[in-house]
Amino acid sequence: MSDVPTAVPDSALLRTARRRTRVGLVAGGLAAYWPQFPRLLEQLQESARFVTRRFEEMGCEVVDAGFISDPQEAARAAEQLRKADCDIVVTFLTTYLTASMVLPIAQRTHTPVLVIDLQPTEAMDHPNTGTGEWLAYCGQCPLPEVANVFRRSGIAFRSVSGYLRDENAWKRIGRWISAAGVRGALRHGRHGLMGHLYPGMLDVSTDMTLVSAQFGGHVEVLEFDDLRVRVAAVTDEETADRVALARSVFTLDDSVDESDLGWAARVSVGLDRLVEDFALDSLAYYHRGLDGEIHERLGAGMILGSSLLTARGVPVAGEYELRTSLAMLIADTMGAGGSFTELQALNFSDGVVEMGHDGPAHLGISAENPLLRGLGVYHGKRGWGVSVEFDVRHGPVTTFGVGQEADGSFVFVASEGEVVPGPLLEIGNTTSRVDFGFDPGEWVDAWSATGIGHHWTVCTGHRAKDFRAAADLLGVPFRVVAGPGEL
């Protein structure tokens, strides 16, 4: 999917350059076979080159540790991959090999391992298959052995079996590579936290040490003064250019005040500089302010710039929602968008849950050109200005959030549904009608019982399996809310 509204030229909202997913790859077989069947090794090495090309076509940075044939070569490959600091290590079982060749790689790299076995074709040509030809098809033979040894060694086991051009297998492999991209984004991410907690929102409070401890990365503590000085340096020409960009991206409602739009544009330019200066991959913010002073005006002017940044791949969440800005980053890394969301109302007549939020939104998943609406008051917050209004693209969606347990550990929570057409609020909020396939009240009860906070992200597509894979690589629990017979 495109992360930018289709009505906007690609050049208008350039996506941020994100670190490529780093995949370690090692293929192997049993040395005893090579002198017995001279053509076998060459065939298996060609299969390994095919797998390398497929990963490169996915946009991955591949660290290829070569083809191993015995435990000594496995140890050397493990050391190479350990130094490479990969997001995932893929071990390709091309034929039978012993678990002693796979275990050191999982132990020494300290990286999640995916074991794959992809035979040459869908099935053997039995009349023309001798022992040497058959051995190219028996990569699945050592899979139970490897799984058993991983279990006994306390190592998480995950695998994909198939054949080289099996698109179903590559879809499953792609899910793990996408999850590895999430792991990389979190391990190397810099997450801004600006302002202070919305008073009383106890569910939102997040220990930043736990973010680095469980996901990796760094939480950068920012002051609104860091934004203030950058906004003060924005020129009138830069502001006018940003207003022009806003007019090209949004439909402007008649309620938009030109001076409010100009202020939001000025804050947007300053916000871009803040993100660049601190090398941020995500941002969560809130500031209450008082009587129209500068910090209140900055907080009220964030929505335009935050939405533009989110569309470019730097998610921004309001109300100091660090866990939701992380969820938005995870969804965006998967190419699913991810927009700041909470419950708004239930429609029992139509069987839908209405959800959305005022404030930052992911423009790339809007059903139509997003609308800018002028608001004289932000409900529950101080200030006034412009806000974003849209409906998420109709069709399959997934709600996704990061919950937190009593011991501080994080949990991934997801639920799949469909955005359906119907009447929506017109109050400067992103609002969507989501049909989860069962009673809206029952869905809310089940969703609330998972450990989710009162914010999450809504993203396009049915992504529960993708989020499950990401949770697996990150070592966090996964919970799904689904109707009877689903998932």
Cα gap 334→467, rounded to integer Å? 9
Token pair in block for residue 302: 């964030």
Residue 363 pairs with which residues in a beta bridge? none
- How far lies 464's CA from each of 206, 282, 450, 468, in Å? 24, 22, 15, 6
In this structure, the strands spanning 456-460 and 339-347 are antiparallel
Contacts of residue 141, defined as CB under 8 A and 6 or more positions apart, other chains included, come to 95, 96
Residue pointed to by tokens 């590579």: 177
Distance (Å, rounded) from C-alpha 267 to C-alpha 271?
6
Q: Looking at this protein, which amino acid is placed at residue 439?
A: D
For the ranges 44-58, 100-114, 375-389, 473-487, the lowest mean pLDDT is seen at 375-389
- In the sheet where 190-195 sits, what is the strand order? 218-222, 190-195, 282-286, 316-317
Q: Tell me, what's the pLDDT at 377?
A: 63
- Residue 463 contacts residue 400 (beta carbons within 8 Å): yes
Tell me which amino acid residue 14 is: L
Query: pLDDT at position 8, please?
Result: 46
Number of neighbours of residue 360 by Cβ within 10 angstroms: 33
Whether residue 460 contacts residue 365, with contact meaning beta carbons closer than 8 Å, is answered with: yes
User: What's the pLDDT score for residue 425?
Assistant: 82
Token code pair at residue 48: 């390994």
Q: Is the pLDDT of residue 382 over 70?
A: no
Higher pLDDT, 173 or 368: 173
Tell me the average pLDDT across 193-206. Answer: 92
Distance CA 309, CA 305 (A): 6
282, two tokens: 């995500």
Please tell me the distance from the alpha carbon of residue 175 to that of residue 26, in angstroms, as a whole number. 19
Average pLDDT, the chain: 93
CA distance 190 to 322: 12
What integer is the mean pLDDT of 16-30? 95
Higher pLDDT, 333 or 10: 333
Whether the predicted pLDDT of 316 surpasses 90: yes
Q: pLDDT class for 286, splitting at 50, 70, 90?
A: very high
Please check the confidence at residue 1 and state whether its pLDDT lies above 50. Answer: no
Sketch out the chain's domains with CATH numbers: 22-186 (3.40.50.10940), 188-480 (3.20.14)
In which band, very low, low, confident or very high, does the pLDDT at 485 lie, cut at 50, 70 and 90? low
In 3-state terms the chain splits into helix, strand, coil percentages (rounded to 5) of 40, 25, 35
Neighbour count for residue 162 (Cβ, 10 Å):
20
Q: What is the mean pLDDT of residues 220-238?
A: 97
Q: What is the mean pLDDT of residues 168-191?
A: 97
pLDDT digits (tens, 9 = 90+) for 67-93: 999 999 999 999 999 999 999 999 999
What one-character DSSP code corresponds to residue 291?
A: T
C-alpha R_g of the chain:
25
Query: What pTM does this model have?
Result: 0.93
pLDDT digits 0-9 by tens, 111-157: 999 999 999 999 999 999 999 999 999 999 999 999 999 999 999 99
